[in-house]
Structure 1
Amino acid sequence: MASSLVTAFIYDRYETYRSQGLGYEELIPFDVDVTIDGLKRALEASGHKVVAVEGIRQLVALVAEGKHKSWDLAFPIAEGIFGGAGREAQVPGILEAYQIPHVFADAATLSLAQDKGLTKMVLDHHGIPTAPFAVVPAAAGPSAGAGEEKEDVGATFPLFIKPTWECSSKGIDQKSKVGDAAELVEGVRRLRARYPGQSVLVERFLGGAEYSVSILGTGPSARAIGTALLDWDAAESQQVLDSHYHVPYWARGAPPEGHDYPVKVVSARDNPDVRPAEEVALKAWRAVGCRDTGRVDIRLGLDGLPYVLEINAIPGLRPSWSTLTKTAEFYGIDYDQLIGAVVESALERYPHLRSKSESAELRN
């Protein structure tokens, strides 16, 4: 057992927002009780004294009352609902303003990772492969520039379009893969109407296999704990888009039950794509500045090379369901061990907390 640290566990509860009338698509970032209870139990199993904090409003209230002064650490998984590309950064921003140590990346990194267009710009700067792309700014007219984006991505059709700030396949449907200029203009118009104020990412369609690399650690100590193949072809119970992109559960009007994605954990021993995908994923993770744990989604081009799709800096952590937790379990890392390792990674940044943790362990 590790420390007796007082840890504020900050989350957004799915059922709370559902009871307020939000639709399934709006509910995507929020965590179901299985996740919340599992994380709380895992932290307690490591000796943490857990303070449950539901959402940013309760966090603000507790900070205003000075209750945060007893906290040693925060474990924030709340992703927010308002604020565009800054949603996931809001809670960490408050924690940093009040000098509360926390797990996961800082506010600036989370804002960057939330914006797929800006992330790809950073990856390009570092020479990390990502599909050629262009961004249709929110300020443009509904079809302004859309017909010319194919020139910027350096490719002929098909192209792929999606909103820049969304997660969990929000904004992706049967019309996301566009085959000509007319479909591109209409698709951009549709996304800008559906997600007002948000830019649209247009990128070369990658026709190869898709992988999700799960990562543990920060900077030079970060390592890939495993890689999962997103096996759309085997997803017989789901609708599939051109054998490549699926229709997410929210688009089918279904709650997040069953499984996260149709993943199959693969190893470098059996799959030659794994090692190159993990190498690229780790480069992206370090370049953007992500910390502790998360996922980097990779897709192969028709040239067989891996390209970064996006970075998940606050990953899903539902026990035995989320891609990262299932990948960890495949490699013998159970849920409690995973969450303990995430906290240990964070404590590397806070020597005073590590000392307190080690002292408590010696006393026990």
Structure 2
Amino acid sequence: MGAGKVLVLYNYSQHLVKGEPKDILAEHGVIACAHAVAAALREAGYTVEVVAFSTDIEATLAPYPPKEWIVFNLGEGLEGRLFEEARIAWALEAMGYRFTGSPGEAIALSTNKAKAKEALARAGVPTPPWKLLRDPAEVDGWRPDGPLIVKPVSEDASIGIGASSVVTDPHQLRERVAYILNRYRQAALAEKFISGREFNISLWGNEPEILPLAEVDFSAFANPLERIVSFAAKWEPDSFEYKNTPVICPAVVDPELKGRIEEVAKKAWHAIGCRGYARVDMRVDTEGNPYVVEVNCNPDLSPDAGFYRAARAAGYTYTEMVVRILRLAVEGV
């Protein structure tokens, strides 16, 4: 089915420079993914090396000439440092490797939620109103319209998102901003909380093809303000949130709304500059208006993760999905 030499590259961190101790769960989630990807590629006939790096990527890749190896890039950074994921892609490009997923520019843009929202707004992509807060004192005098969700400006994987992230008054907002500044050493992005449905839209290809839509089922949560995909919902299997946020794929959605969601997802892909594969997360309000809340350039490809869930719903096996993502890189998409 395939032939060639593939380096499955991922990061391994033993500790974090910021954040909560439990955040290491997200860092370590890539390990099992790397081995699953490698097994799929071997099944397809590729020669595969699985390489973890915990220091500098340049030294790690020295034994693997770029003319001989293509990189299946699962690198997500080191020790929770800001923008390491983008630096990995930039380094791969500078060293002459072909690699899967998005270029460094797109990863950097999507990682900085404030910059990403600016790019989305310029492209006419609907995204919730927001404000960047660098100090709790900046809350004074601000009168937002309704509840807010407060996030670290440059994290992904729901890091820094928990039960206290949705706030309804200035005191709660100041507390959450202070927490993010102190614990995550970065500004806080406060955006209007869109009460409604949440969809994950997986895309891949050149002029991107949209895989079957997925919807998070929040029916176990009576309080609309608790209907979020928190860190616990993603990474803590014993938590109520993890056990009660199943994902329905294909989502049950009427054709008109489906069309709007898909159109917005494609515009978001182009606004950020995604390549190869990506996921766009949206909230849809009670009037049926979709809002982009996140663009993930290199989403999790684990067998139990959302991207494969969508690919499987479209008829792909895990191996077929992995091989297609690799071939998109080989073809220079």
**TM-score, normalised relative to structure 1:** 0.81
Instruction: Quote how far apart the aligned CAs of 1:246 are.
Output: 4.5
Which structure 2 residues correspond to residues 340-359 of structure 1 after superposition, within 5 A? Answer: 340-349=323-332
Q: Hey, what does 2:294 align to over in structure 1? A: 310
Structure 1: which 5+ runs fail to align?
351-364
Instruction: Report the Cα distance in structure 2 between the residues aligned to 1:333 and 1:301, rounded to whole angstroms.
Output: 31
Note the alpha carbon deviations across 1:182-218, whole angstroms, 9 max, x for none.
221222112211111x111011110110000011113
1:49 aligns with 2:31: no
Equivalent residue letter for 2:147? P
Cα 1:116–1:148 shift into 2, 3 Å: farther
1:336 aligns with 2:319: yes
Q: Hey, what does 1:107 align to over in structure 2? A: 104
1:186 aligns with 2:185: no
Instruction: Report the Cα distance in structure 2 between the residues aligned to 1:125 and 1:163, rounded to whole angstroms.
Output: 22
2:92 to 82, 92, 95: 95
8 Å contact from structure 1 (residues 209, 299) kept in 2 = yes
Instruction: Quote how far apart the aligned CAs of 1:120 are.
Output: 0.3
Instruction: Quote how far apart the aligned CAs of 1:255 are.
Output: 8.1
8 Å contact from structure 2 (residues 250, 310) kept in 1 = no
Instruction: Report the Cα distance in structure 2 between the residues aligned to 1:261 and 1:347, rounded to whole angstroms.
Output: 36
8 Å contact from structure 1 (residues 133, 202) kept in 2 = yes
Larger of the two Rg values belongs to structure = 1
Aligned positions, number: 327
Instruction: Quote how far apart the aligned CAs of 1:110 are.
Output: 0.8
Note the alpha carbon deviations across 1:134-162, whole angstroms, 9 max, x for none.
1113xxxx413123444xxxx41211111
Question: What secondary structure sits across from 2:194 in the alignment?
Answer: coil
Instruction: Report the Cα distance in structure 1 between the residues aligned to 2:89 and 2:191, rounded to whole angstroms.
Output: 30
Q: Hey, what does 2:261 align to over in structure 1? A: 277
Question: What secondary structure sits across from 1:103 in the alignment?
Answer: coil
Cα 1:304–1:253 shift into 2, 3 Å: closer
Which structure 2 residues correspond to residues 186-335 of structure 1 after superposition, within 5 A? Answer: 186-196=175-185, 198-218=186-206, 221-234=207-220, 242-249=225-232, 262-267=246-251, 270=254, 272-319=256-303, 321-335=304-318
Instruction: Quote how far apart the aligned CAs of 1:29 are.
Output: 3.2
**TM-score, normalised relative to structure 2:** 0.88
Instruction: Report the Cα distance in structure 2 between the residues aligned to 1:126 and 1:244, rounded to whole angstroms.
Output: 28
Q: Hey, what does 2:69 align to over in structure 1? A: 72
Note the alpha carbon deviations across 1:234-290, whole angstroms, 9 max, x for none.
589xxx87341244338986589x889521013576565322112111110111111
Equivalent residue letter for 2:11? D
8 Å contact from structure 2 (residues 120, 126) kept in 1 = yes
Instruction: Report the Cα distance in structure 2 between the residues aligned to 1:270 and 1:81, rounded to whole angstroms.
Output: 42
Equivalent residue letter for 2:215? L
1:146 to 139, 148, 152: 139
Cα 1:267–1:301 shift into 2, 3 Å: closer
Note the alpha carbon deviations across 1:54-88, whole angstroms, 9 max, x for none.
0253743244x453345331111110135744121
Cα 1:106–1:158 shift into 2, 3 Å: same
Please provide the CA RMSD for this pair.
Answer: 2.8
Note the alpha carbon deviations across 1:302-353, whole angstroms, 9 max, x for none.
432000000111111111x101111211221111111111122222217xxx
Instruction: Quote how far apart the aligned CAs of 1:173 are.
Output: 1.5
Note the alpha carbon deviations across 1:20-76, whole angstroms, 9 max, x for none.
xx933133133355422210011223332112210253743244x453345331111
Instruction: Quote how far apart the aligned CAs of 1:176 are.
Output: 1.2
